[in-house]
Structure 1
Amino acid sequence: MVKVLVLYGGTSSEREISLKSGKAVAEGLKKAGYAVEVLDVNKDNLAEISRIKPDVVFNALHGKYGEDGRMQAYLDLLGIPYTGSGMTASIIGMNKILTKKILTCENIPTAEYVVIKRKGFVPEDVSSIMDKLGCPLVVKAPTQGSSIGTHIVKNAEALREAINDAFNYDDEVLVEKFIAGTEVTAALLGNEDPVVLPIIEITSANEFYDYQSKYTPGMCQHIIPARITKKAETKVREISSKVYKAVGCRGFARIDFIVDKDDQPWVLEINTIPGMTEMSLVPDAARAAGMSFEELVDRIVKLALQ
């Protein structure tokens, strides 16, 4: 019997979501016939990974220290296979600024943006940002997930406040031109030749798909199939595969888009360890493709063992 160690919890701002993902994954793997152990990771218990001697690690850590390449590098040193992307792709995917640079380099459509550094930033800078990008704008803390540190702003004062809030998480802040449209997401499964699962449209009770909307029952809807044209869906699928390969992902990932009124999809970000809770998008997409949760986690483990 293959022994799987599920890493979950951790110390990032997404700890609570990771705990839920990890518990769901562990239950799914047990039902799929694996021998499962779990580890709530912190800096004092990393040696437990070697002691347990898993055949493979299922990494359900979200955010810093689990999703950002550090855990991937540690597992590489130990020689233990693990689910999801490797160190380099994880570093890129976790940092929205690095992701934007890769997208731009690969001519993949993404919103125009600027990067603000804490050192040297003065309140007067907001005028030049608005002159360049217009308004509304989206402000993001680049290394946070679950929309933590993300704001949609519509005036200079709100922009100043949002940038200062994002500086609570990072020393750099990403400011993007706001694009109106339909928010959709594409989940992908595979290594060199990923399969794009059914596209999901996301609606939210709040202004955008923020932390509260994501994790509060009844505050969002996952609509399958997405209410976009066939032309737009084809573009989303093509661009998703291109992003996955450009970043160097493997195993599974999720790519978020806005589709504008002209059927043009714009990439928002990539998630290299997407949520696996009862409200998460990847399990929903898999279910729409006829795949149970147990079959999904089994498939992800098998991709890691390849």
Structure 2
Amino acid sequence: MPLLRILHLVGSAQNDFYCNLSRLYAQDCLNATAERSRYDFHIAYITPDGQWRFPRSLNPEDIAITKPISLVEAIKFVTTQNIDLVLPQMFCIPGMTYYRALFDLLKIPYVGNTADVMATASHKARTKAIVAAAGVKVPQGELLRPGDVPTITPPVVIKPVNSDNSLGVALVKEASEYETALKKAFEYADEVILETFIELGREVRCGILVKDGELVGLPLEEYKLDPKEKPIRSYADKLQQTDDGKLHLTAKDNIKAWIVDPSDPITQRVQEIAKICHQALGCRHYSLFDFRIDPTGQPWFLEAGLYCSFASKSVISAMAKAMNIPLHELFTTVINETLGSWERSKELGTRPTQVKYPQKLIAKDKLG
């Protein structure tokens, strides 16, 4: 059987932070999923200046000696390489949208959600509106632009509308704190979303995996928070940057985050709501959602994070492992789903987007 030629799309055309974050996860994925008898891995590495490189590895030395080329030259090169599949590893907005759309134009299938779905999910307010329309409970909120005055009475959570890793996020307990918190949030985005603070019961993440056209709910991941000392997650709970500029993951342990026992009653409830979010947003292959559980046990949708690097430390990888699905099997499942939906779309003459899953949306009156 011929090797499957997979192109890992790595880096960032936006800034060094996202470029380094992408390389961190992609390197882990390359090490964890390498099977020379099945896959022939290739790397496309994009830097903030918009240049492309095709290094033999993601080691800094190999990247440094690889000649940078323009987008036009990169497209010419990619189209001659007989790539079977692209694995997007870019976390910046251009990487999640423009660069995925490029491979739609080149008619090369890629793992994960489409560019339009990623564009929607990267905007927290639009995502909330869509899942709310499907009957999912979301915190009351409003979207602000510079100069707008908040109308929601604190406590509220302030978030840049399209930033990840809790950059610019703040909990405002008094109206007097609005000015400082908004100033900080607007450093990361032109729009800021305010949400009514949901009292802490628990905070969990739920992953959905598509297998043979079926939506499979993965075990939940729960985060350590405290109603008084740490009521919301911060950037420091997710990433740490050392003095030399290197990024390290800080939430990948059993202290700050852990897998919830599948027998916990909250698991099935959250999984059902996550499946509705998946369908409402038009996701494919997999999806990932954050929920706040209030003290009464009611789940509230917070946001979507529709990417997975298939690194050993990726959240979906950890969830699948807890379900006795090793990373190599998870990787194979998603590849098969990607190529299968691509072939079906060619037969039908449609875009390789979400297929119609046999699951029906849960009635809205059952979501609460």
Indicate the residue corresponding to 2:236 in structure 1. Answer: 212
| Stretch of structure 1 that moved more, 254-263 or 190-199 | 190-199
Report the residue type matching 1:50 in the other structure: T
Indicate the residue corresponding to 2:364 in structure 1. Answer: none
Distance in 1, matches of 2:308 and 2:182, equals 25
Report the residue type matching 2:237 in the other structure: S
Quote the offset at 1:22 in angstroms. 0.9
Indicate the residue corresponding to 2:279 in structure 1. Answer: 245
Distance in 2, matches of 1:212 and 1:277, equals 21
Which of the numbers 56, 64, 86 marks the counterpart of 2:85? 56
Distance in 1, matches of 2:225 and 2:261, equals 14
Which of the numbers 45, 51, 66 marks the counterpart of 1:44? 51
Quote the offset at 1:233 in angstroms. 2.2
Report the residue type matching 2:259 in the other structure: I
Please say which structure displays the higher CA radius of gyration: 2
Indicate the residue corresponding to 1:223 in structure 2. Answer: 258
| CA root-mean-square deviation | 2.3
2:90 match: secondary structure:
coil
Which of the numbers 7, 19, 26 marks the counterpart of 1:22? 26
Report the residue type matching 1:11 in the other structure: A
Conservation of the 8 A alpha-carbon contact between 1:184 and 1:256: yes
Indicate the residue corresponding to 1:103 in structure 2. Answer: 131
2:256 match: secondary structure:
strand
Residue-by-residue CA offset, 1:216-241 (whole Å, 9 max, x unaligned):
266953222259951x3222011000
Which of the numbers 5, 8, 27 marks the counterpart of 1:6? 8
Quote the offset at 1:300 in angstroms. 2.1
Distance in 2, matches of 1:138 and 1:295, equals 38
Distance 1:153 1:16, change over 3 A: farther
Quote the offset at 1:276 in angstroms. 4.6
Report the residue type matching 1:40 in the other structure: Y
Indicate the residue corresponding to 2:218 in structure 1. Answer: 197
Distance in 2, matches of 1:154 and 1:169, equals 21
Quote the offset at 1:286 in angstroms. 0.9
Distance 1:290 1:70, change over 3 A: same
Aligned residue runs from structure 1 range 241-280, under 5 A: 241-274=275-308, 276-280=310-314
Gap runs ≥5 in structure 1 = none
| Stretch of structure 1 that moved more, 50-59 or 69-78 | 50-59
Quote the offset at 1:184 in angstroms. 0.6
Gap runs ≥5 in structure 2 = 53-70, 239-248, 341-368
Distance 1:59 1:154, change over 3 A: same
Distance 1:305 1:203, change over 3 A: same
> Identity of aligned pairs, percent?
25
Residue-by-residue CA offset, 1:257-277 (whole Å, 9 max, x unaligned):
011122111111111114555
Distance 1:102 1:234, change over 3 A: same
Report the residue type matching 2:84 in the other structure: D
Report the residue type matching 2:93 in the other structure: K
Aligned residue runs from structure 1 range 55-204, under 5 A: 55-67=84-96, 69-118=97-146, 120-121=147-148, 125-126=149-150, 128-130=151-153, 135-180=154-199, 181-190=201-210, 192-203=213-224
1:194 match: secondary structure:
strand
Indicate the residue corresponding to 2:359 in structure 1. Answer: none
Distance 1:179 1:101, change over 3 A: same
| Stretch of structure 1 that moved more, 288-297 or 175-184 | 288-297
1:66 match: secondary structure:
helix
* TM-score under structure 2 length normalisation: 0.74
Distance 1:211 1:49, change over 3 A: farther
Distance in 2, matches of 1:298 and 1:150, equals 36
Instruction: State how many pairs are aligned.
Output: 295
Quote the offset at 1:173 in angstroms. 0.6
| Stretch of structure 1 that moved more, 205-214 or 266-275 | 205-214
